[in-house]
Amino acid sequence: MFPFPIIFLDIDGVLIPYGKDSRTLHAPCLAALVSILSQTSARIVVSSSWRLYDMPELMAMFRVVMLPTGETIADRVIGTTPWSDQLLDDNIVSRCRPKEIRAWVDEHQFTGTAVIIDDETLHGVPYPHVKTQLYTGLTEDHVASIVRYLTKE
Protein backbone atom coordinates (compact mmCIF):
# COMPACT_ATOMS: atom_id res chain seq x y z
CA MET A 1 0.00 0.00 0.00
CA PHE A 2 2.92 2.37 0.74
CA PRO A 3 5.82 2.02 -1.73
CA PHE A 4 7.93 4.44 0.27
CA PRO A 5 9.34 4.69 3.80
CA ILE A 6 7.79 6.93 6.43
CA ILE A 7 9.28 9.59 8.71
CA PHE A 8 7.21 10.24 11.82
CA LEU A 9 8.27 13.83 12.40
CA ASP A 10 8.09 15.98 15.50
CA ILE A 11 8.61 19.74 15.03
CA ASP A 12 9.56 21.44 18.32
CA GLY A 13 13.03 20.27 19.32
CA VAL A 14 13.56 18.79 15.85
CA LEU A 15 13.04 21.60 13.31
CA ILE A 16 12.71 24.34 15.93
CA PRO A 17 15.40 24.05 18.62
CA TYR A 18 14.47 25.26 22.08
CA GLY A 19 15.35 28.92 22.54
CA LYS A 20 14.89 29.79 18.85
CA ASP A 21 11.90 31.67 17.41
CA SER A 22 9.09 29.22 18.09
CA ARG A 23 7.24 30.13 14.88
CA THR A 24 10.18 29.77 12.47
CA LEU A 25 11.76 26.57 11.21
CA HIS A 26 15.52 26.68 11.88
CA ALA A 27 17.54 26.73 8.64
CA PRO A 28 20.23 24.17 9.64
CA CYS A 29 17.53 21.74 10.79
CA LEU A 30 15.61 22.22 7.54
CA ALA A 31 18.82 21.62 5.57
CA ALA A 32 19.25 18.28 7.34
CA LEU A 33 15.63 17.33 6.56
CA VAL A 34 16.08 18.35 2.91
CA SER A 35 19.21 16.20 2.77
CA ILE A 36 17.27 13.19 4.11
CA LEU A 37 14.37 13.70 1.72
CA SER A 38 16.75 14.23 -1.21
CA GLN A 39 18.44 10.89 -0.58
CA THR A 40 15.27 8.86 -0.01
CA SER A 41 11.72 8.51 -1.27
CA ALA A 42 10.44 8.98 2.30
CA ARG A 43 7.13 10.60 3.08
CA ILE A 44 6.34 12.50 6.27
CA VAL A 45 3.65 11.82 8.85
CA VAL A 46 3.57 14.74 11.28
CA SER A 47 3.48 13.43 14.85
CA SER A 48 4.01 16.82 16.51
CA SER A 49 1.43 18.73 18.51
CA TRP A 50 1.57 21.20 15.58
CA ARG A 51 -0.86 18.82 13.85
CA LEU A 52 -3.56 19.82 16.33
CA TYR A 53 -3.41 23.61 16.11
CA ASP A 54 -0.85 24.84 13.60
CA MET A 55 -0.93 22.47 10.62
CA PRO A 56 -1.86 25.16 8.04
CA GLU A 57 1.02 27.35 9.26
CA LEU A 58 3.43 24.40 9.19
CA MET A 59 2.37 23.41 5.67
CA ALA A 60 2.83 27.01 4.50
CA MET A 61 6.40 26.93 5.82
CA PHE A 62 7.00 23.53 4.18
CA ARG A 63 5.66 24.80 0.82
CA VAL A 64 8.52 27.28 0.40
CA VAL A 65 11.32 24.75 0.95
CA MET A 66 12.28 23.13 -2.34
CA LEU A 67 13.89 19.74 -2.80
CA PRO A 68 16.26 19.05 -5.73
CA THR A 69 13.44 17.01 -7.31
CA GLY A 70 11.32 20.15 -7.71
CA GLU A 71 9.00 19.04 -4.92
CA THR A 72 8.53 20.98 -1.71
CA ILE A 73 8.68 19.45 1.74
CA ALA A 74 4.89 19.91 1.83
CA ASP A 75 4.59 17.58 -1.18
CA ARG A 76 6.13 14.82 0.94
CA VAL A 77 3.67 15.20 3.84
CA ILE A 78 1.04 12.47 3.61
CA GLY A 79 -0.75 12.97 6.91
CA THR A 80 -0.65 13.21 10.67
CA THR A 81 -0.85 10.78 13.52
CA PRO A 82 -4.32 10.62 15.09
CA TRP A 83 -5.34 12.34 18.25
CA SER A 84 -7.75 10.82 20.67
CA ASP A 85 -8.31 11.36 24.34
CA GLN A 86 -8.04 7.58 24.60
CA LEU A 87 -4.44 7.84 23.39
CA LEU A 88 -3.52 10.34 26.07
CA ASP A 89 -1.70 8.86 29.04
CA ASP A 90 -1.20 11.41 31.81
CA ASN A 91 -0.57 14.10 29.14
CA ILE A 92 3.02 12.93 28.80
CA VAL A 93 4.27 13.05 25.21
CA SER A 94 6.71 10.20 25.69
CA ARG A 95 3.82 7.93 26.64
CA CYS A 96 1.15 9.02 24.17
CA ARG A 97 3.29 9.57 21.04
CA PRO A 98 4.15 5.86 20.63
CA LYS A 99 0.42 5.03 20.92
CA GLU A 100 -0.41 7.64 18.28
CA ILE A 101 2.22 6.24 15.93
CA ARG A 102 0.95 2.70 16.45
CA ALA A 103 -2.61 3.90 15.82
CA TRP A 104 -1.53 5.45 12.48
CA VAL A 105 0.33 2.24 11.54
CA ASP A 106 -2.72 0.11 12.39
CA GLU A 107 -5.18 2.40 10.61
CA HIS A 108 -3.11 2.38 7.41
CA GLN A 109 -1.98 -1.25 7.74
CA PHE A 110 1.55 0.01 7.23
CA THR A 111 4.18 -2.73 7.14
CA GLY A 112 7.07 -0.84 5.58
CA THR A 113 10.19 0.91 6.77
CA ALA A 114 9.94 3.94 9.02
CA VAL A 115 11.91 6.10 11.40
CA ILE A 116 10.76 8.38 14.21
CA ILE A 117 12.50 11.75 14.64
CA ASP A 118 11.66 13.33 17.98
CA ASP A 119 13.40 15.20 20.80
CA GLU A 120 11.50 13.25 23.46
CA THR A 121 12.67 9.92 24.82
CA LEU A 122 10.02 7.54 23.53
CA HIS A 123 9.52 4.06 24.94
CA GLY A 124 8.00 1.11 23.12
CA VAL A 125 8.12 2.65 19.67
CA PRO A 126 7.77 0.24 16.74
CA TYR A 127 10.54 1.78 14.59
CA PRO A 128 14.04 3.18 15.01
CA HIS A 129 13.90 6.41 17.01
CA VAL A 130 16.39 9.17 16.29
CA LYS A 131 16.39 11.45 19.33
CA THR A 132 17.44 15.01 18.62
CA GLN A 133 18.83 17.37 21.23
CA LEU A 134 16.37 19.99 22.42
CA TYR A 135 18.77 22.91 21.87
CA THR A 136 20.14 21.89 18.46
CA GLY A 137 17.37 19.92 16.77
CA LEU A 138 17.97 17.85 13.65
CA THR A 139 21.54 18.18 12.42
CA GLU A 140 23.72 16.88 9.60
CA ASP A 141 25.12 14.42 12.14
CA HIS A 142 21.74 12.63 12.13
CA VAL A 143 21.39 12.42 8.34
CA ALA A 144 23.48 9.32 7.56
CA SER A 145 21.83 7.09 10.17
CA ILE A 146 18.33 8.23 9.19
CA VAL A 147 19.03 7.64 5.50
CA ARG A 148 20.43 4.21 6.37
CA TYR A 149 17.24 3.32 8.30
CA LEU A 150 15.02 4.54 5.48
CA THR A 151 16.84 2.81 2.64
CA LYS A 152 17.44 -0.59 4.21
CA GLU A 153 15.84 -3.44 2.34
Which is it for strands 77-80 and 114-118: parallel, antiparallel or unpaired?
unpaired
Tell me the pLDDT tens digit for each residue of 15-33: 999 887 777 899 999 999 9
Domain annotation covers residue 94: yes
Which has the higher per-residue pLDDT, 48 or 89?
A: 48
Contacts of 138 (CB under 8 A, 6+ apart): 14, 15, 29, 32, 33, 117, 132
Mean confidence (pLDDT) of the chain = 90
CATH number at residue 51: 3.40.50.1000
In which domain, by residue range, is 121 found? 6-151
pTM of the model as a whole? 0.92
User: Domain for residue 36, yes or no?
Assistant: yes
Q: Is residue 100 a part of any domain in this protein?
A: yes
Answer yes or no: is 1 within a domain: no
Confidence tier at 1 by pLDDT (50, 70, 90): low
Nearest to 42 by CA among 2, 82, 10: 2
Q: How many domains does the chain have?
A: 1
